[in-house]
Structure 1
């Protein structure tokens, strides 16, 4: 049936606040499009992998007559099974399919499973990457890519210009080895040795791979356990409030793409110190809107924090430029790009009213 606005179906792992995790980008976008007056279907918020897959299949079958565009959130690992099953059903149902690709592990996943990824990706009407890092990687594998960045609502994040920051540090991610939370303990220890007593709030759900325990063991060994406060995953609407309590944001990850947590810190005007892995150098410019250091190097990360505390001009520049760049990810900028993509697909499939 032709209509002036498509009914959008967002498919993927949509479990968020209820399980202690931040909201996945697919669910954030679904809510934003609903606010804009689009009819939106979402599947699935089930935490269990098998129940999630069954819920997705059931939703696609029951809602098949409503759906105009299928937007599948694509991640690496076992989560790629969702993209495989959902896109197969989408092809059977003759639906336009958008693959929205996420995660810093995608390039290595493609290298390990080129035949599987290639077979599934051929089902897409369009492939969308949120970063130049992922777009370049996918282009190298022969896929045609549309680049549309991840989104935030900039107005939710109050900007404070950190001209004279103090040693209040914030870390916002899941406790998982990929994000290397134990590095933060080493940074605090080295700062103590430099005569800088810093307090660190670490916010995120425990992924139960032992990384949280290793962090606490490292903090105890290095005498900084009293300087670290652990907060479990918080509701998405509370993120700006918690970020605003700090002046310096640590991103300790070993693998990354374009993390929304970093964009949120930029929006608040925090001074960012990050590892330079994966897509981070595509997002942040060293010495301009962040200080970038090699992964797993507590000495260089502590030195970057020290510079921010000791050099007000540097801190002010990083803070101001980070907020300015965060504006590129605001919904008012990103929304028209998605609408243009939807219109192209609707016209190509004869679903748009004249």
Structure 2
């Protein structure tokens, strides 16, 4: 019944009704296009009216903007979609969903981040309460679908959309010794493993090189990776262009022939 109510609220007399998307819309400052921003662009292009929140820099201003938008625009949208992450971001989702319930709005949750299962084990009742309050809960990751099932059994797998035309296929009959790493520099993605891999491979492949693409999440992971690379004597084999706009990702990926995945978790990234 709740799902039918949500569907009915989004269409009335054949008209597409406005949706509020709640997530981090930070590409203008962080150079990283989040999935919610891409979704917003696709919905707008298809003629679906949308509101988004928040693009405010700073965690507290962003949280206040999310809550304020959910309430102040309650008469202008029919339903909401809320991104859910672990850590302090989970509190944001709880606060926004509380306001959405006060406003009488149905909402869909989308689960992200490989750290969410560990967070759920530490706070099972909080997680179960939030997930069960939504009309639908989706995730782009099979890993999260399986690990979060104990907190709500009817999760839906909805992979992130990928425009295949942007990623040109190239047959690599003789792969070159150029590795590509595409992640954020964060502990859960284990970037310090990368220089260890390069050091091991350099023993047999002297021409090996690695490009590590991604923004610094400022948890010390980038510095630890640099330190490991210097200690192993492979810093000169590693390039660090930093974070790049999502539109440039295909070009960067095409510069390498071997993808290096060091992550400790599977959260279904575009890479």
Same topology, TM > 0.5: yes
2:163 match = 153
1:195–1:168 CA distance, 2 compared to 1 (3 A): closer
1:25 match = 35
**Is contact 2:226–2:235 with CA below 8 Å preserved after alignment?**
yes
Mapping 1:141-290, distance limit 5 Å: 141-260=151-270, 262=271
Bigger helix share = 1
**Is contact 2:141–2:266 with CA below 8 Å preserved after alignment?**
no
For normalisation by structure 2, the TM-score amounts to 0.91
Structure 1 moving runs of 4+ over 3 Å? none
1:204–1:8 CA distance, 2 compared to 1 (3 A): same
Q: Which runs of 5+ in 1 are unaligned?
A: 263-354
Separation in 1 of the partners of 2:58 and 2:233? Answer: 38
Separation in 1 of the partners of 2:156 and 2:244? Answer: 32
Deviation of 1:142 (Å): 3.5
Separation in 2 of the partners of 1:62 and 1:216? Answer: 46
* Match among 17, 20, 35 for residue 9 of structure 1: 20
For normalisation by structure 1, the TM-score amounts to 0.70
Separation in 2 of the partners of 1:197 and 1:186? Answer: 16
Deviation of 1:204 (Å): 0.9
Separation in 2 of the partners of 1:170 and 1:17? Answer: 25
1:132 and 2:139 correspond: no
Deviation of 1:11 (Å): 0.3
1:44 and 2:54 correspond: yes
SS in structure 1 opposite 2:108?
A: strand
1:131–1:178 CA distance, 2 compared to 1 (3 A): closer
**Is contact 1:182–1:214 with CA below 8 Å preserved after alignment?**
yes
Separation in 1 of the partners of 2:41 and 2:82? Answer: 15
Separation in 1 of the partners of 2:97 and 2:49? Answer: 20
2:4 match = none
SS in structure 2 opposite 1:54?
A: helix
Separation in 2 of the partners of 1:23 and 1:231? Answer: 17
Deviation of 1:17 (Å): 4.8
Q: Which runs of 5+ in 2 are unaligned?
A: 1-8
**Is contact 2:115–2:188 with CA below 8 Å preserved after alignment?**
no
Deviation of 1:52 (Å): 0.5
Separation in 1 of the partners of 2:88 and 2:218? Answer: 17
1:96 match = 106
When the two structures are aligned, how many residues end up with a matched partner? 260
1:110 match = 120
Separation in 2 of the partners of 1:12 and 1:195? Answer: 43
